[in-house]
Chains A and B, each alone.
Chain A
Amino acid sequence: MNTPPAFSFLVCLRLLLAVLPLPGQNLLKHDHQLSSPLTSNLRLKEGLWLLDNNIDPYTGGSFHHSPLLLSVFSTIVPPLPIIWAISDAVGAWALLRIWHARQGLSFQKGTRPNVENLITSVYLLNPYLLLPSLALSTSTFENTLTLLALMFASQGKVSSALLAIAFAVHLTSSSILLLLPILMILVSSPVSHLASPRPFHGNLKRIPFLFGEFTLYWLVLVGAACIITGGSWSWVRASWGATLTLPDLTPNPGLWWYFFTEMFDHFRPFFLMVFSVHLVIYILPICIKFQHDPLYAAFLLIGVLGTFKAYLTLADPGLFISMISIFPEVHGYLRHPIITTLLHLHAALLLPLQHVLWVSEGRGNANFYYAASLVMGMAGGAGLVDACWAGMRIAVGDAKEWVEEKVDGEKGKDEGKVVWWEVVQQ
């Protein structure tokens, strides 16, 4: 496969990072910004240990991973850091392939290597993605599976895309948001049509069949998970139910946990419903508005997930930020990229600081930390809104300035200039 030089270099670097004993790796594993109760490596190891000792990992209430992770990591390979490095590399490769498919390029060498180097670097060197991967958080796998699904969809490989998104949905149920855009990409094309929107031209009649195929793959995965748990369904409540019922209120950079620490019990179901529905209500509007470019719709929904997800970690906004590199056409139309960047910088510096201040030193309290996560929410929201704007603005096109001199026919005098702008569709 033809990959830019930066790819090989950065992948080697990443593998080195995985293999060398880093001094702060234990600290990273415990960090709440990098892993949540649903993705934490410590809990994964605990679940594996409980499985080894013939105890059901799902009765304790601390293990929220999928049973398939249990079976993979206890049979084929233990949870070594090299797996996360390989997953990162696969994700970067998938992002490159998405870029190629979007540009309509086949495997040609030498086509804009600078851009490809940039895309690879933005994914592999993004601290929001690198640090959770070094912390061995399973969000790396979720991101990689999402990118693989988008890659296969962009390449038109129907079953592979549906299998990848079935895997992703099996690991985190929030990824269901991306199902509709992926189905739309599969029946249309990933090539950029942002600048020239037109009604959805794909074959809508295929979508139910594709959805049926997705459901079939998903059911097989559920069946495989039930096999390892021996027919018990407690894992459903522990893994997907955790996103819906929020049993664990460990602080994370997301917006949910603080609400639910202070909520009266009789309001809890209502607000859980509201927060979950809030994620789902973005699907149809974004897909309808961006029906001419479903890949961009998928990108925007990844942004929604990266801001409003239940158990947020830094890896979720990280994917959104890295994916913006494959949409260079909108970069010129972003209104406030600097503000978004600064908000992210602000949040990224404040979050660990306030966490240490609150939890370790006891000098702050939860409000300090939640304020920092609100800044993170603002940063995510600013990025999302800006990307939405740019995606729509590019369709409006550039303005061409016309100047006309207005001449008074009767008197022949110059009455002044009239300036107007005509918008030219590109």
Chain B
Amino acid sequence: MFSMRFQLLPQACLLLLTCFIAWAVGSSGYSAPAGERVADFFGGHDSGSGHTNNWAVLVCASRYWFNYRHMANALGMYRTVKRLGIPDSNIILMLADDVACNARNKFAGSVYAEAGRHLDLYGENIEVDYRGYEVTVENFIRLLTGRVDPSMPRSKRLLTDDHSNIFVYMTGHGGNEFLKFQDQEEISAFDIADAFEQMWQKKRYNQILFMIDTCQANTMYSQIYSPNILATGSSQIEENSYSYENDNDIGVSVIDSYTHYVLKFMEGINKTSQASMQDLFDSYDPVKIYSHPGIRSDLFRRPLDKTLITDFFGGVAQAEAFPLQDIVGSSNHHGNDPTPPTSRKPDAPSVPVALSPTVVSLPRLTGETHAWDNRWKEARKWTSIFVVGCLISWVSFVR
């Protein structure tokens, strides 16, 4: 009997080998290589900007009632970035915040940015992170560079990483390479440039959009020397930036001209918009704005017509939906969903909610590719029951 067994040994080995090869081929051909899928996801499908999260730092460097428009500028930008998807946890809003509840405010608790007072920017749902006398140059630079006191709460820190796109907006009274902070101190263009360089060294940003609306604003970004920074300002050197309009009942100017036109452009943008930064810059009209806005893109490595507005202004999450059968191989639930995972919907790559209503299952390990297939599941269940039943009946009746 043993000799017969040894004769069959080579055939048995060959059979085993063919089974193994068949299994290996079958299991390897199943899923797309994991590295490719990861690169797809993090590479981004729309603009290739390489960012995974968005932050916004909005600074209004003025205080007092007659600087109402600077507060409205910052609050208008705040509302826009929130609407386009950046959450409060990723927005640092620095305001003197002495306008809404000012004794001179006829509309207490409200801040408006246009003459008809249709839209209240203050409302009940804003989060001001640095208010009042906390808006200082030191706090601003500490915020950017991350060198804050250990007691500083998380909501007041800029917790960015090297995949963060940051939108930095500043408004107030400025001059040639300086910006006035609350009538007490100034920040210079060199300070900002050095702060950005520290951020670059510490890998605290992927790309920065620096937007500034003051008099002689373009000088403020002239000293920046770190890569991946796109800057734009409201007026050139020796040029003032003007307010847009007054509201007769509030009694002061309610919005600045440059910011007003930028916000007006933004009202046409929503989360799925494919408008690029070039479109925004093309919309600048020096005649209407009464000053010459400037753009600095020499440090910015990507073409402006390929950079989306939502790369900076929006907090867009990208979700990939993988059809169930591509992962598990079963067409049990949603048979008419044949798109493979690498196909992209060309019209809406950054749809915030894009999960198809299939059961998203865990990716299979290569060793268990066939384990839970529907075809064999029933057979396996009944086989195991049969085995147990046989055992029980054998024990009961035979033994």
- Residues of A at under 8 Å CB distance from B? 51, 53-56, 59-60, 67-68, 70-72, 74-76, 158-160, 163, 217, 220-221, 223-225, 227-232
Q: Give 19 A-B contacts (CB < 8 Å), ordered by A residue.
A: A53-B333, A53-B359, A53-B361, A54-B330, A54-B332, A54-B377, A55-B372, A60-B362, A68-B388, A70-B381, A74-B381, A75-B382, A75-B385, A159-B395, A224-B387, A227-B383, A228-B383, A231-B371, A232-B371
* B387 nearest CB neighbor, chain A only: A224
Give 17 new A-B contacts, CB below 8 A, not counting A229-B371, A230-B376, A232-B368.
Answer: A53-B361, A54-B373, A56-B371, A56-B372, A59-B362, A71-B381, A71-B384, A71-B385, A72-B385, A160-B395, A160-B396, A163-B395, A221-B391, A225-B384, A227-B380, A228-B384, A230-B370
Chain A contact residues, majority secondary structure: helix
Residues of A close to B362: CB separation below 8 A: 55-56, 59-60
Task: Tell me whether B372 and A228 are in contact (CB under 8 A).
Answer: no
- Give B360's nearest chain A residue, CB to CB: A55
Complex CA distance for A229 and B372, rounded to whole angstroms: 8
Residues of chain B within 8 A of A231, CB atoms compared:
371
A54 adjacent to B374 (CB under 8 Å): yes
Choose among A51, A163, A217 the residue that contacts B377 (Cβ–Cβ < 8 A): A51
A residues less than 8 Å from B391 (CB atoms) = 163, 217, 220-221, 224
In whole angstroms, how far apart are the Cα atoms of A72 and B384 in the complex?
Answer: 9
Write the residues of chain B forming the contact surface with A, with a CB cutoff of 8 angstroms. Answer: 328, 330, 332-333, 359, 361-362, 367-368, 370-374, 376-377, 380-385, 387-388, 391-392, 395-396, 399
A-chain residues with CB within 8 Å of residue B367 when the two chains form the complex: 232
A228: chain B residues at CB < 8 Å are 380-381, 383-384
Contact of B388 among A60, A74, A158, A224 (CB under 8 A): A224
With most chain B CB atoms within 10 A of its CB, the pick from A53, A72, A221 is A53
**What's the Cα separation between A304 and B298 when bound, in Å?**
77
A160 surroundings in chain B (CB, below 8 A):
395-396, 399
A163 touches B392 (CB 8 A): yes
On whether the beta carbons of A227 and B368 are closer than 8 Å, the reply is no
Chain B interface secondary structure, helix, strand, loop or mixed?
helix
Distance A56 CA – B372 CA, assembled complex (angstroms)? 7
Chain B positions within 8 Å of A70 at CB level: 381
A74 to B378, CA, bound (A): 9
A11–B182 Cα distance when bound, in Å, is 83
CB distance from B71 to the nearest CB of A (A): 41
Give Cα distance in the complex from A409 to B370, angstroms.
99
Alpha-carbon separation in the docked complex, A124 to B328 (Å): 46
Partner of A75, one of B332, B333, B381, B399: B381
CB-defined contacts of B388 to chain A, threshold 8 Å: 68, 220-221, 224
Assuming the contacts A75-B381, A158-B399, A163-B395, asked whether A55 and B387 have C-beta atoms less than 8 A apart, the reply is no
A227 to B391, CA, bound (A): 15
Chain B contacts of A56 at CB under 8 A?
A: 362, 368, 371-372
Which A residues touch B399, using CB under 8 A? 158-160
Question: Given A54-B374, A159-B395, is A227 in contact with B361 using a C-beta cutoff of 8 Å?
Answer: no
Whether A220 pairs with B330 at a CB distance below 8 angstroms is no
The minimal Cβ–Cβ distance linking B365 to chain A, given in whole angstroms, is 9
In the A-B complex, list the 8 residue pairs whose CB atoms are closest, starting with the nearest: A159-B399, A230-B371, A224-B384, A228-B384, A224-B387, A227-B384, A159-B395, A54-B372
Evaluate contact between A220 and B377: CB separation under 8 angstroms.
no
Question: Do A67 and B384 touch across chains, with their CB atoms under 8 A apart?
Answer: yes
Closest to B371 in A: A230
The CA of A223 and the CA of B381, in the complex, are separated in Å by 12
Chain B nearest CB, measured from A156 CB (Å): 12
